[in-house]
Amino acid sequence: HAADAHRTDLMTITRHVLNEQRRNPESRGDFTILLSHIVFGCKFVASAVNKAGLAKLIGLAGETNGEEQKKLDVLSNEVFVKALVSSGRTCVLVSEEDEEATFVDPALRGKYCVCFDPLDGSSNIDCGVSIGTIFGIYMIKDKDNVTLEDVLQPGTNMLAAGYCMYGSSCTLVLSTGSGVNGFTLDPSLGEFILTHPDIKIPKKGKIYSVNEGNAQNWDAAVAKFVEKCKYPKDGSPPKSLRYIGSMVADVHRTLLYGGVFLYPADKKSPNGKLRVLYEVFPMSFLMEQAGGQSFTGKERALDLVPTNIHDRSPVFLGSYDDVEEIKALYAELA
């Protein structure tokens, strides 16, 4: 509709989160401030990703002449660490790119812990395929006594989680624990606008997503599930296979179209590949908030309690019925 092009009442992500927080009488706007710093990080990375192919020619934003080109994942990590620390609302940061957790200087400390993967899907950077940023947010227990225990918590304790996908458009998907909403970056405004309100994943999907090159090392339940996707015995049509190799993009498609994404354990990697704090937990939180499920092969993924910040876990997430089927196979075959 022509009038839509002139809409003057857009729901920006800040406005949306302010509305959500207004329902909580204790809210002081801290979460809104934290989120606006995360959004800044996403916009910075979106801009750098768009210029990635030109990096050798023009240099990436934020770099001085003559300095060696930083890898995009290293650059993204620096951007997010600086944005999160400078928000004055964070306390402990866990990043895929940093071996140790970062404890924020006491003068700048706030009550939130953020676990993040600044650039996920890095093998896809050089060929221009979608990549993303993933984040999960906790709150500290005791302001005067901040330890690693504040992030080594089950996923059920997360307050919020989200991801930003740098794809054909730039999409930020967020849950603060009351459903899932998607926002698309309007590059001319520099704002994320609510485009996908209250996302619900289809109850059953037509797609499965897995790195099938690992099939020779799978356990019986995974092998049986994929076999059933390809050769269903109940008269239903076979499922389609889609696998991008960027978790953010594979999960985003799963959320919108339905189906199941799996990164199982195999004989070579008994805990799978994906990391609990900043890959498995945030995506599991979003899936559950959208009406789907997430399973580890043993338990509900959000019930895991990590013992180390870079712990890994197998994961099966997506449409409710499809994950139910995987759970049944594990119950039968494990």
Decide if residue 288 touches ligand AHG (CB under 6 A): no
Burial of 231 (0-12, 13-18, 19+ CB in 10 A): exposed
CB of 258 to Mn ion, least distance (A): 23
Task: Choose, by CB under 6 A, the member of 89, 228, 273, 312 that binds ligand AHG.
Answer: 273
Nearer to Mn ion, 239 or 312 (CB): 312
How far is the CA of 61 from the CAs of 37, 55, 72, 187, 217, in angstroms?
A: 18, 9, 11, 17, 43
By CB under 6 A, tell whether 266 contacts ligand AHG. no
CA distances from 179 to 131, 173, 269, 285 (A): 24, 11, 33, 10
Q: Name the one range near ligand AHG by CB under 6 A: 11-19, 86-94, 115-123, 310-318.
A: 115-123
Q: What would the two tokens of residue 205 be?
A: 């999907």
| Residue with Cβ nearer ligand AHG (31 or 261) | 261
Using CB under 6 A, which of the segments 32-40, 117-125, 290-298, 321-329 binds ligand AHG? Answer: 117-125
For the bound state, the minimum distance from the C-beta of residue 308 to ligand AHG, rounded and expressed in Å, comes to 17
Q: Is 246 in the site for ligand AHG (CB under 6 A)?
A: yes
Q: Stretches 52-60, 61-69, 149-157, 241-249: which one binds ligand AHG (CB under 6 A)?
A: 241-249
Residue 269 within binding range of ligand AHG, rule CB under 6 A: no
CB atoms within 10 A of CB 109: 18
* Beta-carbon count within 10 A of 322 CB: 29
Check the CA dihedral 237-272-128-285 and report its sign. Answer: positive
Nearer to ligand AHG, 141 or 242 (CB): 242
Q: Which residues contact 251 (CB under 8 A, 6 or more apart)?
A: 163, 261, 283, 286, 287, 317
Q: Is the dihedral of CA 16, 33, 150, 45 positive or negative?
A: positive
Query: Based on CB atoms, which residue is closest to ligand AHG, 96 or 150?
Result: 96
| Beta strand ranges found along 73-159 (DSSP E) | 90-95, 102-103, 112-120, 131-139
- CA atoms of 139 and 13, how far apart (whole Å): 21
Q: Is 253 in the site for ligand AHG (CB under 6 A)?
A: no
Shortest CB 283 distance to ligand AHG, Å: 10
If one asks whether residue 312 binds ligand AHG (CB under 6 A), the answer comes out as no
Is residue 118 within 8 A of residue 73, CB to CB? The reply is yes
Q: Which of 252, 49, 255, 44 shows the shortest CA–CA distance to 163?
A: 252
* Residues at the site binding Mn ion, with contacts judged by CB under 5 A: 73, 96, 117, 119-120, 122
| Partner whose footprint covers residue 245, from Mn ion, ligand AHG, none (CB < 5 to 8 Å by kind) | ligand AHG
Using CB under 6 A as the binding rule, whether residue 310 contacts ligand AHG is answered as no
Q: Is 96 in the site for ligand AHG (CB under 6 A)?
A: yes
Report the partner that residue 211 touches, choosing among Mn ion, ligand AHG, none (CB closer than 5 to 8 A by kind): ligand AHG
Which residues of this chain interact with ligand AHG, rule CB under 6 A? Answer: 96, 117, 120-122, 211, 245-247, 250, 263, 273
